[in-house]
Chain A
């Protein structure tokens, strides 16, 4: 017998209401009992005193360690992972091979060599092999780590590309201002896996930008010819994009995956708010493909500074929760078997300027870096990202 339903608003509301009952007192009691047992996981100190208590406890611990002469050795690094260098704070922009990085300062960027033999100034700071001032939307490294691209050396709408293997040739400048209508503020440059194109974004409003009416314009810059193709001028995505390993898809904050024509091909997190452009969130919810392109990892944000690490397996409609507390995905291991992620506040968004000196001072509790097998298990903490020197990780290849 076939039945035809007239699906009215009233019918849906009534049927849904029929599916529900109110909670009983026992449920409230169960909740309070369960949270009581977890009270130890919470800091119950008043906030203004928490930092002071933590510092006091840390000082006592260090004094005790010093008194009994115990060496404070860092935990052993997992196989295949090594600390390449330590660097001052900032937007690190590590090259894919780990040999170069681009910490920023108030005045611009510097390219420095990493590793224990990296040239340093007499005061211990890194000596740059290349530096520039002016506009900045971050840097982008070519997949072979030979070229570094950045926005502007004094002119808005100019992408500068520098060949590190041929420093005498000087920078190559490509003006995109004429090819990009409106504000040509170039953001979020990402080099394609084959090195032939650079994805970049421009926003239709200046930072800080309200969500209403904001849209990101996505473009592809052909590195060889300097020509620009439009992907989309209306997508509600922004700030950071990632390439799939095959170079056919782009992932954006909020879990949207689009093809190179700007068509949305997948929405990983349909319930997660799309992020307005030019407003960088603390925890980056951007899809990160495994090296073979078969899996996708992403942070599903729960609050402003925490989320869940999800992994979408091939053919599975629903993701697996790999870690219940995560903020950023640092990357996959080359074999795709492990993922490094960061919990806690991001160091990159916690810099404040110190007076008129131009120096940058970090605030906040810092972060922790973890590694976890992609099939699951307990994550292993690698180290704490405090406010001193930040370890730079590279994988053995």
Chain B
């Protein structure tokens, strides 16, 4: 069942959905999930690098959203808040994975023929990216995958633009070092 509230402006309609979901409206929450699950899942995939973990993190993020939504005072901040929740879920997943690290011997390649170079490059990038801290991964995903400008990232993280820029620069340097180590 779709709600009539969606006939308002997009942001106002979204705020209304958030408020309805906060009051326990399952249909409103279902619409929030359906319209945001793609972005949230892709963000988790990019940070975690595998679908299984991303799936778990996405599920945990939306469960947390459902349980804690009544405490969100400003419905207009729902998306920024959900972003924080998925980043936290990814961070938890990274911590768990570090505690039970798995070695994938098949992923080690001695040499890469030209035809497989692209695949090898991607593997190296993925391995390097997985070396980064959750904070570095998060800001790289926000900027390069979600396409958020630095001003938007600064706003979402609540830090000055200069700080966001500095953190992005630091994350890129960390990625460069990780690539050198993996290559």
Given the complex, which residues of A lie within 8 Å of B144, measured CB to CB? 9, 12-13, 16
Q: A19-B49, A23-B37, A44-B23 are in contact. Are A303 and B160 (CB under 8 A)?
A: no
Chain B interface helix/strand/loop/mixed: helix
- Whether B111 pairs with A1 at a CB distance below 8 angstroms is yes
- Whether B135 pairs with A270 at a CB distance below 8 angstroms is yes
User: Which residue of B has the minimal Cβ distance to A274?
Assistant: B159
- Whether B37 pairs with A303 at a CB distance below 8 angstroms is no
- Whether B59 pairs with A30 at a CB distance below 8 angstroms is yes
**Does any Cβ of B come within 8 Å of A142's Cβ?**
no
| Residues 82-106 of B at the A interface (beta carbon under 8 Å) | 84-85, 87-88, 91-92, 95, 98
Given the complex, which residues of B lie within 8 Å of A47, measured CB to CB? 23
- Tell me the count of chain B residues lying within 8 A, CB to CB, of chain A: 63
- Whether A34 pairs with B59 at a CB distance below 8 angstroms is yes
**Does any Cβ of A come within 8 Å of B71's Cβ?**
yes
Separation of A108 and B71 alpha carbons in the complex (Å): 32
Q: A3-B183, A28-B33, A304-B73 are in contact. Are A20 and B66 (CB under 8 A)?
A: no
**Does any Cβ of A come within 8 Å of B12's Cβ?**
no
**Does any Cβ of B come within 8 Å of A263's Cβ?**
no
**Does any Cβ of A come within 8 Å of B6's Cβ?**
no
Q: A31-B58, A271-B88 are in contact. List 13 more A-B contacts (CB 8 A).
A: A3-B183, A5-B124, A12-B175, A13-B145, A20-B145, A23-B37, A31-B33, A44-B23, A271-B138, A273-B158, A302-B88, A303-B71, A306-B71
Separation of A196 and B19 alpha carbons in the complex (Å): 51
- Whether A306 pairs with B37 at a CB distance below 8 angstroms is no
- Whether B63 pairs with A318 at a CB distance below 8 angstroms is no
**Does any Cβ of A come within 8 Å of B122's Cβ?**
yes
- Whether B71 pairs with A304 at a CB distance below 8 angstroms is yes
Name the residue in A3, A236, A271 with the highest tally of chain B Cβ atoms < 10 Å from its Cβ: A271
A290 to chain B, nearest CB (A): 21
**Does any Cβ of B come within 8 Å of A32's Cβ?**
yes
Q: A7-B176, A42-B24, A303-B71 are in contact. Are A31 and B62 (CB under 8 A)?
A: yes
User: Which residue of B has the minimal Cβ distance to A236?
Assistant: B160
Which of B49, B126, B158 contacts A274 (CB under 8 A)? Answer: B158
Q: Mark A5-23, 1 if CB is under 8 A from B, else 0.
A: 1010100110111111111
Given the complex, which residues of A lie within 8 Å of B121, measured CB to CB? 3, 5
Given the complex, which residues of A lie within 8 Å of B33, measured CB to CB? 28, 31-32
- Whether B68 pairs with A16 at a CB distance below 8 angstroms is no
Given the complex, which residues of B lie within 8 Å of A13, measured CB to CB? 144-145, 147
Q: A28-B33, A271-B84 are in contact. Are A23 and B41 (CB under 8 A)?
A: yes
Interface on A for B, CB 8 Å cutoff? 1-5, 7, 9, 12-13, 15-23, 27-28, 30-32, 34-36, 38-39, 41-47, 211, 236, 270-275, 300, 302-306, 308, 318, 321
B117 to chain A, nearest CB (A): 9
A198 to chain B, nearest CB (A): 29
Separation of A4 and B182 alpha carbons in the complex (Å): 11
Q: A211-B158, A274-B158 are in contact. Are A17 and B51 (CB under 8 A)?
A: no
A223 to chain B, nearest CB (A): 34
- Whether A41 pairs with B160 at a CB distance below 8 angstroms is no
Separation of A211 and B159 alpha carbons in the complex (Å): 9
- Whether B24 pairs with A45 at a CB distance below 8 angstroms is yes
Separation of A263 and B73 alpha carbons in the complex (Å): 35
Q: A38-B66, A302-B84 are in contact. Are A23 and B38 (CB under 8 A)?
A: yes
- Whether A38 pairs with B26 at a CB distance below 8 angstroms is no
User: Which residue of B has the minimal Cβ distance to A301?
Assistant: B84
Name the residue in A28, A34, A45, A236 with the highest tally of chain B Cβ atoms < 10 Å from its Cβ: A28
User: Which residue of A has the minimal Cβ distance to B25?
Assistant: A44
Nearest 8 CB-CB pairings of A with B = A273-B158, A44-B24, A20-B45, A23-B41, A35-B66, A20-B42, A3-B183, A270-B135
- Whether A236 pairs with B159 at a CB distance below 8 angstroms is yes
**Does any Cβ of A come within 8 Å of B152's Cβ?**
no
Q: A15-B122, A28-B34 are in contact. Are A42 and B66 (CB under 8 A)?
A: yes
Q: Mark B14-57, 1 if CB is under 8 A from A, else 0.
A: 00000000011010011001100110011001100101000100
- Whether B59 pairs with A42 at a CB distance below 8 angstroms is no
Given the complex, which residues of A lie within 8 Å of B172, measured CB to CB? 7, 12
- Whether B63 pairs with A34 at a CB distance below 8 angstroms is yes
- Whether B63 pairs with A38 at a CB distance below 8 angstroms is yes
Separation of A3 and B66 alpha carbons in the complex (Å): 46
Separation of A45 and B23 alpha carbons in the complex (Å): 7
Separation of A270 and B140 alpha carbons in the complex (Å): 14
**Does any Cβ of A come within 8 Å of B167's Cβ?**
yes
- Whether B141 pairs with A16 at a CB distance below 8 angstroms is yes
Separation of A45 and B72 alpha carbons in the complex (Å): 16
| Residues 58-78 of B at the A interface (beta carbon under 8 Å) | 58-59, 62-64, 66-68, 70-74
User: Which residue of B has the minimal Cβ distance to A44?
Assistant: B24
Given the complex, which residues of B lie within 8 Å of A308, measured CB to CB? 88
A95 to chain B, nearest CB (A): 33
Separation of A22 and B43 alpha carbons in the complex (Å): 10
- Whether B34 pairs with A7 at a CB distance below 8 angstroms is no
